[in-house]
């Protein structure tokens, strides 16, 4: 078979060595006579994989002992509800920074549970052309937490540095850029991320949360919705998504093997340089709706001179083995998601295609 260059936004490309390892181990894990999917989650084989996935995540992201690493289910969308359920006590208010579609979903969900205050917003009409600049966020010192979205998957914007929230815990939806670069985990109260972009397949969510914050969470909510339940049971309170966690283990082992986040970060910067360079080289043809300082290295968005040309671009690109380039239906245009598993070569192919397309298809 020929593998295509996969620019899907999520579920997204996985590194080939990760898939090969899964293929090789699919029928028999180790010498156990069965697949890892068929093992009990209480058995030694699965427990080894589970703990290795956590240990590798800790090592790669340099997660300090002050923080738990948890595996949950329900997608990042359940986190929109779990965060306020756990930390938004009666009479309290939470600060939210509104930078796009997914921030708005988190805000809406929280409004069902408690009081939301907007600490900053970059909405212009229906668009979000950038993330806030330092100094544009006003944090309520009494807020239960400040919620931010580190990378806006649909709008193609990314924070370059974390917002300064003082003593108020910073809660981050890092679904679309976790593990794409080094971060200082100690600056966060809680980070959550659906796995299906940089961590592994869909079906598992990684939560990295300060132990004291988890311990302070509400106890009057259902057991399954408390972070403390997962922390107390090493994420084995009930049956975990064992195959997804196994794949997370494989992705983490791959990241470590290629050189960890310094190498991943270098590749991501190079991919961004190539792709934004191609967009900027054709200002009369390709335009970026995103302000330069907010450009995302994970989701690169751009427009063509007309919707008809955009449609043709997607069609021709697909025929050329460049897949998943249609922008989100809410914003239109093009989007290339260049997560960790998308190679520099994949991006070079896309840039070559863009050069040719701009030459051959004048409006
Ligand atoms: C930044 C961000 N947050 C949340 C979500 C929702 O994730 P899920 O489908 O896992 O609930 C997505 C999905 O693409 C996302 O990109």
pTM for the full model?
0.98
Residue 147 backbone phi and psi in degrees, to 5? -105, 130
Instruction: Determine the pLDDT at residue 322.
Output: 98
Kindly give the number of the ligand 1 atom that is closest to the alpha carbon of 100.
1
Query: What dihedral do alpha carbons 88, 61, 18, 72 form, nearest 10°?
Result: -20
SS3 category, 127: strand
Kindly give the number of the ligand 1 atom that is closest to the alpha carbon of 77.
11
Q: What is the CATH number of domain 259-360?
A: 3.90.1150.10
CATH topology of domain 16-257: 3.40.640
Instruction: Determine the pLDDT at residue 134.
Output: 85
Residue 123 backbone phi and psi in degrees, to 5? -75, 130
Identify whether the C-beta of residue 69 lies closer than 8 Å to the C-beta of residue 63.
yes
Q: Which residue's entry shows tokens 């708005």?
A: 104
Q: Where are the domains of the chain?
A: 16-257, 259-360
Q: 283 C-alpha to center of ligand 1: Å?
A: 31
| Distance in angstroms (rounded) separating the CA atoms of residues 30 and 81 | 39
| H or E element, residue 210 | strand 205-210
Instruction: Determine the pLDDT at residue 236.
Output: 98
Identify whether the C-beta of residue 205 lies closer than 8 Å to the C-beta of residue 79.
yes
Instruction: Determine the pLDDT at residue 362.
Output: 87
Profile the chain (363 residues) by mean pLDDT over runs of 10 residues.
Answer: 95 98 98 98 98 98 98 98 96 97 98 97 97 95 98 98 96 98 98 98 98 97 98 98 98 98 98 98 97 98 97 98 96 96 98 98 90
| Distance in angstroms (rounded) separating the CA atoms of residues 281 and 284 | 9
Annotated active-site residue in 197, 267, 302, 346: 197
Q: Which residue's entry shows tokens 């976790």?
A: 178
Instruction: Determine the pLDDT at residue 142.
Output: 97
């Amino acid at each position: 078979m020929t593998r295509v260059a996969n620019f899907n936004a999520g579920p997204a490309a996985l590194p080939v060595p990760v898939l090969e390892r899964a293929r090789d181990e699919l029928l028999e894990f180790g010498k156990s006579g069965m697949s890892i999917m068929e093992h009990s989650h209480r058995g030694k084989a699965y427990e080894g994989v589970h703990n290795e996935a956590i240990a590798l995540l800790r090592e790669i992201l340099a997660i300090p002992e002050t923080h738990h690493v948890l595996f949950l289910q329900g997608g990042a969308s359940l986190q929109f509800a779990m965060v306020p359920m756990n930390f938004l006590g009666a009479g309290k208010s939470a600060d939210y920074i509104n930078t796009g579609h997914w921030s708005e979903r988190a805000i809406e969900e929280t409004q069902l549970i408690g009081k939301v205050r907007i600490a900053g917003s970059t909405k212009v009409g229906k668009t979000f052309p950038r993330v806030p600049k330092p100094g544009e966020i006003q944090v309520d010192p009494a807020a239960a937490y400040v919620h931010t979205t580190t990378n806006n998957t649909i709008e193609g914007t990314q924070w370059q540095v974390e917002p300064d929230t003082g003593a108020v815990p910073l809660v981050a939806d890092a679904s679309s850029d976790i593990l794409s670069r080094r971060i200082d985990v100690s600056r966060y109260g809680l980070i959550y991320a659906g796995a299906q972009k940089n961590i592994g397949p869909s079906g598992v969510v990684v939560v990295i949360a300060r132990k004291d914050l988890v311990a302070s969470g509400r106890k009057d909510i259902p057991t399954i919705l408390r972070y403390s339940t997962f922390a107390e049971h090493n994420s084995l309170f009930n049956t975990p998504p064992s195959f997804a966690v196994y794949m997370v283990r494989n992705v983490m082992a791959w990241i470590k093997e290629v050189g960890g986040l310094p190498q991943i970060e270098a590749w991501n910067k190079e991919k961004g340089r190539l792709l934004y360079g191609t967009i900027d080289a054709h200002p009369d043809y390709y335009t970026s709706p995103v302000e330069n300082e907010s450009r995302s290295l994970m989701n690169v968005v751009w427009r063509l001179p007309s919707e008809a040309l955009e449609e043709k671009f997607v069609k021709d690109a697909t025929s050329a083995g460049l897949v998943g380039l249609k922008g989100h239906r809410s914003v239109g245009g093009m989007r290339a998601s260049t997560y960790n598993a998308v190679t520099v070569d994949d991006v070079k192919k896309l840039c070559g295609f863009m050069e040719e397309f701009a030459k051959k298809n004048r409006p």
